[in-house]
């Protein structure tokens, strides 16, 4: 009976179309990351890691990443974040990249 009542209440919830689009974009992004990964990548030693981090492309990517995360976190607290779910999904996507 409890499950039946839960699902009856769940059916009453309406999901805005923009929320569904955001969820679909997040799923496509996650699938893209998984399919683009290569299991045969070699591990870097300390010297190779320091050399990779000090390259210009990594510095540019990290700067854009940090600026994007800061911008989305700031927008998430305002009226834009309360209106558009893309702000929160983008923020989750950026922080989700930290664990890939």
CB 32 within 8 A of CB 96: no
> Total domain count for the chain?
1
d(CA 28, CA 36): 12
35-40: long-range contacts (C-beta < 8 A, 24 or more apart)? 37/100
Q: Report yes or no on 11 lying in a domain.
A: no
Q: Report yes or no on 67 lying in a domain.
A: yes
Interval 50-56 mean pLDDT: 92
Residue 57: pLDDT band (50, 70, 90) is very high
At what angle are helices 85-96 and 56-77 packed, to 10 degrees? 140
d(CA 43, CA 22): 34
Measure CA 11 to chain center.
27
What does the pLDDT look like over 61-93, one tens digit per residue?
Answer: 889 988 988 888 888 888 888 888 888 888 888
Full residue range of the structural domain in which residue 61 is found: 16-35+45-99
d(CA 97, CA 68): 13
Q: Report yes or no on 28 lying in a domain.
A: yes
Q: Report yes or no on 7 lying in a domain.
A: no
Q: Report yes or no on 83 lying in a domain.
A: yes
Q: Report yes or no on 2 lying in a domain.
A: no
% residues pLDDT > 90 (the chain)? 13
Q: Which pLDDT does position 15 carry in this prediction?
A: 64
Token readout for 97 is: 């990249």
Token readout for 78 is: 């305002």
Q: Report yes or no on 86 lying in a domain.
A: yes
């Amino acid at each position: 009976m409890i499950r039946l009542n839960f699902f009856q209440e769940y059916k009453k919830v309406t999901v805005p179309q923009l929320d569904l689009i955001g969820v679909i974009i997040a799923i496509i992004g996650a699938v893209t990351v998984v399919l683009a990964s290569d299991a045969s990548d070699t591990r870097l030693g300390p010297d190779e890691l320091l050399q990779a981090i000090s390259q210009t492309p990594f510095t540019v990517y990290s700067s854009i990443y940090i600026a994007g995360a800061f911008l989305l976190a700031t927008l998430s607290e305002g009226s834009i974040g309360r209106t558009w779910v893309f702000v929160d999904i983008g923020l989750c996507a950026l922080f989700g990249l930290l664990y890939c």
